[in-house]
């Protein structure tokens, strides 16, 4: 899998340690779902920027922790060995992740891994609007986080 990375606004900088759980989560998803011939774009940002995106694209006037934009038309992208598939874009507010990690009493590393897994699963067609879908997505999230070995330390 190819991972395109960036920050927005561009002048934001993050220590390499912030990226480590993001990359680990994407790698784990790649292995579990066997999606080698794919590409994803991940942007780390702050609350102000993600608030603007959330308002503009989702009509929700507040910051959020993660937003995914799937580039496939169907609910689940068809990934075959024959071609290269761009899954979409994920935006993660590191500022919101820090606040949530503190609130939930676990590490920033765990929160960033969880948010990345959550965003990646959305790109793979998972959702949590209906109760059955929510349970399925939560089970997938739990499986990946357990495989990563990142506990609520």
pLDDT of residue 44: 98
Burial-class residue 83 by CB neighbours within 10 Å (0-12, 13-18, 19+): exposed
The reported pTM is 0.92
pLDDT of residue 29: 97
pLDDT of residue 138: 96
Q: Per-block average pLDDT, block size 10, for the chain (153 residues)? A: 95 94 97 91 98 97 97 60 81 98 95 98 94 96 94 68
88: three-class secondary structure by DSSP: strand
What domains are defined for the chain? Answer: 2-148 (3.40.390.30)
Give the contacts of 91 (CB within 8 A, at least 6 positions apart).
8, 42, 43, 45, 49, 50, 53, 66, 67, 68
Tokens (6 digits) for 103: 């609130």
């Amino acid at each position: 899998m190819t991972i395109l990375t960036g920050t927005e606004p561009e002048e934001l900088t993050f220590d390499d340690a912030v990226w480590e759980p993001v990359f680990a989560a994407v790698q784990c998803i790649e292995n579990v779902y066997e999606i080698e011939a794919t590409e994803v774009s991940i942007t780390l940002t702050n609350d102000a920027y993600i608030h603007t995106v959330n308002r503009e694209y989702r009509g929700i006037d507040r910051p959020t922790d993660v937003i995914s934009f799937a580039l496939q038309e169907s609910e689940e992208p068809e990934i075959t060995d024959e071609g290269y598939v761009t899954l979409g874009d994920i935006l993660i507010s590191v500022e919101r992740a820090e606040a949530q990690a503190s609130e939930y009493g676990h590490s920033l590393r765990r929160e960033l891994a969880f948010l990345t897994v959550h965003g990646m699963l959305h790109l793979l067609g998972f959702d949590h609007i209906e109760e059955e879908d929510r349970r399925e997505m939560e089970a997938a999230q739990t499986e990946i986080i357990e495989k990563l070995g990142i506990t609520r330390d």
